[in-house]
Amino acid sequence: MIKSIKGTRDILPPESALWSRVENTAREIFERYGFAEVRTPIFESTELFARGVGADTDIVSKEMYTFEDRDERSLTLRPEGTAPVVRAHIEHRLQQETSIAKLYYLGPMFRRERPQKGRYRQFHQIGAEVLGSDNPAIEAEVLEMLQFFLRLLGIQDQTLLVNSIGCPACRPQFLEHLKRSLAEKKTGLCPDCQRRSETNPLRVLDCKVESCQPAIESLPKISDFLDSACRAHFEKFLGYLASRQVAFTIVPRLVRGLDYYTRTTFEITSGALGAQNTLIGGGRYDGLAEALGGPSTKGFGFALGLERILLVLQDRGNPPDPLTPQVYLAPLGERAFDTATLIAKCMRENGIRCFLDFDARSLKSHLRLANKLGSLYALIFGEVELQAGNYQLKQMTNGEQTTLTPDELMRAAESSGQADLRTSILKALFLARSTYHF
């Protein structure tokens, strides 16, 4: 038997309904804040990620799925979403449309990591990017939006961590001090951090290896080296968060794992995830567009791991909601089945979720399946009912069964105002009878 590849998974009902709820909530809230959806290809030129993400990052050096196509071009399955969005922004000259572009995306990403709880080799992200402004107010607005999004999902246990990692004007001085301090502590670092201490010292601060943490805690703080412009930017950002009543914690050694970040960085964590507790991460990346060959474009954005959001929801007692049928059609006999196919069509066209089984069943078997599916009602009819124009409507929760007559269907069809589910069923049934003349 062929099975799914290690590090991938099938998303099956009823869990897929919970995925849809998260995605639909994101769309609703992000669009309320003026973001529009962008969809980029799942593979790009390898150069895009080498230049944008950084050749010395773990993503580029260890985790990317890279291959050559028949034209001997090096292509890579996208490991993250920001660089492709910025590439699309440059290529299609979106900066000429409005002064600020607000874009969001949803989709799969690919990294060859060690699979673990909430982390897969094909994983899914929802992200958003604001391109064209370096105003710290836009950063606070995005975080306000994220807090709103998480609250609507019912995720209350969350912590916002923020920091500034400076800019190309002030960061070199900090990096010199950081290199000297790392040289003194090199023997206490993991092999990756020993390498990073020389090639990309800022990445040491992002290490999650437990044995490295004492050394990392004693390293210089970048906040002590910020120039006046970066310090003013960060203070304004914090002021905007405070005025919006968005709670935050400053973490002086918080950096992100990608090279393009500058100034503001942030993470939103959840206690439900254990050691790997980051739900959402992002920050400012004012130099990324230039690194990709485009015009100077200020940028700020984030990405959230959909699998991790789902873990928190399920941990907090939000199990997947199965799409249970509102009406189970229980036809008895061949003619009744043929009629049921037409009733099902009318009900679905009128917004009613109904289920019609395609196997011939006894009444007892029909009702057993209706219970198993969690249907609210069962509509029962056979040859006798069709001749009389009557139908049996059984409420599955309490077993109450009533006979629907042509007169009652007519009265329901003529009723005005917002209808309850029972009346909606009657209206759809009347419409089916009058349309198909059975």
**CATH at residue 425:** 3.40.50.800
Last residue of a domain, one of 315, 349, 365: 315
In a domain, 157, yes or no: yes
CATH of residue 296's domain is 3.30.930.10
Domain encompassing residue 396: 327-436
pLDDT of residue 210: 79
My answer on whether 243 and 345 are in the same domain is no
Q: How many domains does the chain have?
A: 2
pLDDT at 378: 97
Question: Which residue's structure tokens are 């609210």?
Answer: 376
List alpha helices for 277-420, DSSP H.
Answer: 288-291, 306-315, 334-349, 363-373, 383-388, 406-414
Q: Are 36 and 103 in contact (CB under 8 A)?
A: yes
Q: Using an 8 Å Cβ cutoff, are 383 and 335 in contact?
A: yes
pLDDT at 319: 61
In a domain, 58, yes or no: yes
Give yes or no: residues 107 and 48 share one domain: yes
Regarding whether 299 and 423 lie in a shared domain, the answer is no
The structure's pTM equals: 0.82
Taking the CA atoms of residue 75, residue 81, residue 84 and residue 90 in that order, the dihedral angle to the nearest 10 degrees is: -170
- pLDDT at position 207: 77
Q: Based on the domain organization, do 100 and 164 belong to the same domain? A: yes
Domain finish residue from 288, 315, 342? 315
Q: Mention every residue, 6+ apart, whose C-beta is less than 8 A from residue 102.
A: 33, 34, 35, 36, 128, 129, 130, 131
CB 95 within 8 A of CB 130: no
236, containing H or E segment: helix 228-243
Instruction: Let me know if residue 180 belongs to a domain.
Output: no
Confirm whether 199 is domain-assigned: no
Residue 274 confidence (pLDDT):
63
Mutual orientation of helices 306-315 and 15-32 as an angle, nearest 10°?
Answer: 110
> Does residue 303 sit in the same domain as residue 165?
yes
The confidence score (pLDDT) of residue 278 equals 86
256 and 158 inside one domain: yes
Q: What is the pLDDT of residue 56?
A: 64
- Residues 334 and 307 occupy one common structural domain: no
What's residue 256's pLDDT? 74
Residues 111, 242, single domain; the answer is: yes
Amino acid at 402: T
What confidence score (pLDDT) does residue 181 get? Answer: 84
Quote the CA–CA distance of 169 and 263 in Å, as a whole number: 11
Domain assignment of residue 49, yes or no:
yes
Could you tell me if 288 and 336 lie in one domain?
A: no
Amino acid 324: pLDDT = 86
Residue 193 domain-assigned (yes or no): no
State whether 100 and 162 are in the same domain. Answer: yes
Give the pLDDT of the chain (438 residues) as one tens digit per residue: 999 999 999 999 888 989 999 999 999 999 999 999 999 999 999 999 988 777 667 778 788 999 999 999 999 999 999 999 999 999 998 876 568 899 999 999 999 988 777 688 999 999 999 999 999 999 999 999 999 999 999 888 889 999 999 988 888 888 888 888 888 877 778 887 888 777 778 778 777 787 788 878 888 888 888 999 999 999 999 999 999 999 999 998 888 766 678 899 999 998 766 666 889 999 999 989 998 999 999 999 999 999 999 988 887 766 656 678 999 999 999 999 999 999 999 999 999 999 999 999 999 999 999 999 999 999 999 999 999 999 999 999 999 999 999 999 999 988 877 789 999 999 999 999 999 998
Q: Which of 320, 337, 421, 410 is nearest to 380 (CA)?
A: 337
Question: Final residue of a domain: which of 247, 281, 315?
Answer: 315
pLDDT of residue 125: 96
Question: Is 192 contained in some domain?
Answer: no
Q: Give the span between the Cα atoms of 141 and 147, in whole angstroms.
A: 10
Task: Assess whether 282 and 404 both reside in one domain.
Answer: no
Q: Are 285 and 429 within one domain?
A: no
Structural domain includes residue 191: no
